[in-house]
Structure 1
Amino acid sequence: MKKISKYIGIFMVVALLTSCNDFLDVQPKGQLTDDEMFTDLTGYEDAMFGVYGKLATSNLYGQNLSWGMVDELGQQFGYDNTQDVSYYLNRYQYTNQQARNVVDAVWSNMYNNIANVNNVLKHINDISAGAQERKMIHGEALGLRAFMHFDLARLYCTDYTRSDASTLGLPYATEFNLKNHPRYTLQATFNLILKDLNQADSLLADDNDVTYDNTFVRDYSKGRVILFNKYAVKATKARVYYAMGKYTEAAKYAREVINATSNFALNTSTSIDSVMRFPASKEMIFGVYAADRSNAIRAAFLRSNAFGTFLEGRRDTHSIYETDLFTALSSDLRFTSFYKENTSGGSTSFSFIRLIQNDAEATRGVLKGFVLISLPEMYYILSESLYDSNQTEAISLLNKVRKSRGLGDVDATKVSTRTLFEQEMMRERMREFPGMGQTFYALKHYNRSFTDFRNIDTYQPSDAIFNLPWPDRENEYGDKVVHQ
């Protein structure tokens, strides 16, 4: 929506005026006072558009939490040059100042935006007009607060399945104020995430039509796939329960999204052009509008193709996509749609072209945003959640995604045990998610050894790799821990 791009500027100015080290210093009110902002429905809409605009900036899902930092940590991409921050992120050298600045920026900007959401929630009942729309905004705001805290937990805390009652979680910010927020245990953090999501689910019960609308007409009831809609809430619940190892609940919510066939369906074309990037026709459950990121993506991925001169794809991309097994009837469409192979002087590199394929596309501004939650992920979650109880359906679900990508059924020997199945699911996530910021979370969840993007160094799983460091000042707030 055009309104969103207007408010990106306001919130970027606010971010520059706030402390990079302490989310408690944030006062994200844009250029309007509360009395001016929340006097009519337009003010509430504008405040929410500001939240979505902030999500789309480079410090969050416009780069760091999509194709940037988190995909470099996930070894989807790498820049083999000490002059670039990616070099240190690929090697988990969080003490490097460049890397630390990026990691800290994610934390501070996310909490800044959580404060934005809390300001909306603080005023949600200030007017009586537009009860139904305010109900939707209320649900979106609660859902977004949970969504942002959940991604912070995935980045900065121990994996839930390896935690206990004493494992520390996050400061869960529920108020718009400058008070010190206590740090909760990880279990309490997840309880608060689910509390917000459950309330959001109830408030958005009537939010049934969430298809994409590219007309950008100001109508809060249309084009809701780029707002935190009912199915974004359910998909996030599926993610949360999956992260907790509660597969019955994860399966329930993933299936609810998959069954919403009037809104979502896997690709059936012989091409994946319509689903490989925003708005990913019928496969995007939630995404953010961001029409200003093309030049940054071009500069990162397309400026060169020699090792150490650009942000390159994995050097074992052929192996990841198993190109040696391609046949006339089974060939992964993602391989040639996501990557361009460069051969020179006996070496081969891979340019990532999923988001921007060439200079002309960057100039035309073809990319309009980023997919944050997609339908294939719901199939993966449901498949993995069912494996122990219904192996046949689990494998069938995986094969449905494979079919939508041009592949035949998975080799039965690759999914004959839980361990083998999870290894195949890890490969499948690496094939599906480059540029979407999900691979690092999968590496952390599976907790197995993995290789770097060069396919040279092998890393053993550890908290030192998977738990990003907090900004130094935030550690001062860890003395009051809440168990609930």
Structure 2
Amino acid sequence: MDVRPVTEVPEETMYASEQGFFEVLSGTYVQMGRPQLYGKELTFGLLDALAQRYTAGSARQMYTVIMGTPTGAYDYEAQGSRATYIDPVWQGLYRIIGNTNNLLANIDQRKGIFSENHYNNVKGQALGLRAFLHFDLLRLFAPSPQTAGEQTFIPYVRTYDPVSSPKLTVTSTIANCLQDLDEAQRLLAVDKDMRENAADRFLTFTRNRFNYYAVLGLKARIYMYNGQLDSAYSYARKVIEAVPAQFRFTTKERVVNGDRTFVSEHLFSLRIQNMRNIYNDVFANAGFIRLTVTESALQRIYEEKTADFRYIDHWRSSGAGISFMKLSQDGLADTSRFAAQMPLLRLSEMYYIAAESSTNIDSATYFLNQVRAHRGMVTGPQDELRGLNQQQLAQEVQKEYLKEFYGEGQLFYFYKRLGYPFIPGLTPDDASIPATSSVYTWPIPFAELQGR
């Protein structure tokens, strides 16, 4: 794989000042936001299509090379699938990892050039990003921990030289992610404040950087994926306990004013360049294949809870059908703090993890009710969930993933983590997709299989 850094500027020039390190980090976030990665395919594009988030006809039109016939299973080996969608994710994420490794290879020997707390901040962000990117590669290109066994799947790359690194087991890859996150947590703990504004531009809008709470949130996600429920619960609670000092739930007023992705709840998000055009090409361009959802599907997903912010403000009916507004830039100035924000880790996920991993059913129900109340679903005691058993709790968690993470790619991973044998159709009339290992696990690029 090519893990050389994205930048072509000579190292002795790029890393001569702390500003050079800042620019490398900024470039890393920009690269992550490309349409082939989190700017489309790993969020509202391919991953949500694979999770059957859109009408089968529209999703299969846009992703026909993979999704094939209306009743067929997904085919990642079909002509064009790898080259168009699969390989660019592998190559793109590893290229960004190379960029972080290049930074990490230079930072300790230049520690003296940093002012304030910037050394800890820069190095902590780079380590956290390396773990984040490897974990998503693992979730895509390896089976779930429950089925992976001792086979090796992806390399954990710690150098930026274009050399082959050995592929590791799922267990070893997760251990490497957690090792990087432990160090990132230590470094970033020196400054835990979440800011929107600061005199120092490098400290502005912390949510668009891999910050201390992103480390905690990613640990909770990883432990949950790995079935380590006690640890998942512990780290999810650490984030929850930061409310309201560092996070606050959104309000109806904020949503009406354009905060459709609930920015105040983001643990980590990207500001996507050219988001307006990317969104319009997928959802709003009448002359292009358009991902759609039907009103009947929405009524089913949101359980006819018409007071739910996620129903009222994420969807709009028009003569052309139902428009997905959550990621729309309609009515937002490019300079708005709500514009072009793509959440990759969010507060609500921590509540769902705490609910799933809690050993007390009443506490688990409390965490779900907290999110539901802050989405407009609970207007009084009569609307709260009560008296759930474990099976009912699991069903309520699934309902929340369906409502909460539209356009963010997380539902596919949810089904994979829990080993759903079928990916449910959008409506009862749509075919469910048999979710074999080959559906949940993307193929590694041929060049990597051949040892290049």
Whether the aligned pair in 1 keeps the contact of 2:195 and 2:203 (CA below 8 Å) is no
Residue 226 of structure 2 corresponds to 244
Which residue among 108, 132, 149 is the counterpart of 2:91?
108
Instruction: Please list, as runs of the form range in 1=range in 2, the aligned pairs for 1:304-315 lying within 5 A after superposition.
Output: 304=286, 309-313=289-293
153-162 vs 41-50, which moves further: 153-162
Cα distance in 1 between the residues matched to 2:59 and 2:210: 39
Q: Map of 1:157-196 to 2, 5 A cutoff?
A: 157-164=142-149, 166-196=150-180
Matched, 1:336 2:312: yes
The whole-number CA distance in structure 2 between the counterparts of 1:426 and 1:184 is 31
Are the equivalent residues in 1 in contact too, given 2:354–2:364 (CA < 8 A)?
yes
CA distance in 1, matches of 2:45, 2:52: 11
In the TM superposition, what are the counterparts of 1:50-89 in structure 2 within 5 Å? 50-78=27-55, 80=57, 84-89=61-66
Counterpart AA for 1:104 = D
Counterpart residue type for residue 445 of structure 2: P
SS state at 2:109 partner: coil
The answer to whether the 8 Å contact 1:161/1:243 transfers is no
Question: By how many angstroms is 1:450 displaced?
Answer: 3.0
C-alpha spacing 1:368/1:310, structure 2 compared with 1 (3 Å): closer
C-alpha contact (below 8 Å) 1:226/1:287 kept by paired residues: yes
Aligned to 1:482: none
For 1:452, the aligned partner's letter is: G
2:6–2:96 Cα contact (<8 Å) kept: no
- From the superposition, tell whether residues 66 and 177 of structure 1 become closer, same or farther in structure 2 (CA, over 3 Å): same
1:391 aligns with 2:361: yes
CA distance in 2, matches of 1:456, 1:335: 21
Once the two structures are superposed, residues 6-43 of structure 1 have per-residue CA deviations (whole angstroms, 9 ceiling, x without a partner) of xxxxxxxxxxxxxxxxxx23432523101111111111
**2: distance between equivalents of 1:236 and 1:332?**
27
Aligned length: 435
Q: 1:450 aligns with which of 419, 423, 434?
A: 423
Which residue does the alignment assign to 1:99? 81
**255, 261, 264: which is aligned to 1:272?**
255
Q: Report the Cα offset of residue 71 of structure 1.
A: 1.2
Preserved CA contact (<8 Å) 2:33 2:272:
yes
**1:403-418 mapped onto 2 (5 Å cutoff):** 403-408=373-378, 409-412=383-386, 416-418=388-390
Moved more, 446-455 or 121-130: 446-455
Map residues 24-39 of structure 1 onto 2, 5 A cutoff. Answer: 24-39=1-16
TM-score normalized with structure 1 length: 0.83
Instruction: Give the Cα–Cα distance (whole angstroms) in 2 for the partners of residues 207 and 264 of structure 1.
Output: 15
Matching residue within 182, 194, 198 for 2:182? 198
Supply the distance in 2 between the matched residues of 1:364 and 1:284 (Cα, whole angstroms). 18
> In the alignment, what sits opposite 1:303?
285
Residue 468 of structure 1: aligned partner = 442
Consecutive unaligned residues in structure 2, runs of 5 or more: 68-72
Give the % identical residues: 29
Q: Deviations for 1:195-239, whole angstroms, at most 9, x for unmatched residues? A: 0011111111112112333x8x76222322111110011100000
CA–CA distance in 1 between the matches of 2:436 and 2:369?
32
C-alpha distance in structure 2 between counterparts of 1:473 and 1:126, whole Å: 34
- Would the alpha carbon gap of residues 265 and 362 (structure 1) be closer, same or farther in structure 2, given more than 3 Å must change? closer
- Structure 1 residues 363, 229: closer, same or farther in 2, change over 3 A? closer
Q: Distance in 2 between matches of 1:451 and 1:430?
A: 11
Shift of 1:463: 0.5
Correspondence 1:209 to 2:182: no
Q: Which residue identity is paired with 2:27?
A: G
CA distance in 2, matches of 1:372, 1:105: 19
Amino acid at match of 2:43: S
List gaps (5 residues or longer) in structure 1: 1-23, 479-484
Letter in 1 for 2:351: Y
Does the CA contact (< 8 Å) of 2:283 and 2:323 recur in 1? yes
Deviations, residues 418-472 of structure 1 (Å, cap 9, x unaligned): 2332222112111011111111101111222232346511123311110011111
Distance 1:207 1:82, change over 3 A: closer
Residue type of the partner of 1:337?
A: D
Partner of 2:271: 289
Query: What letter corresponds to residue 123 of structure 1 in structure 2?
Result: N
The range that moved more, 451-460 or 434-443, is 451-460
Given that 1:146 and 1:196 are in contact with CA atoms closer than 8 Å, whether structure 2 keeps it comes out as: yes
TM-score, normalised to structure 2, is: 0.89
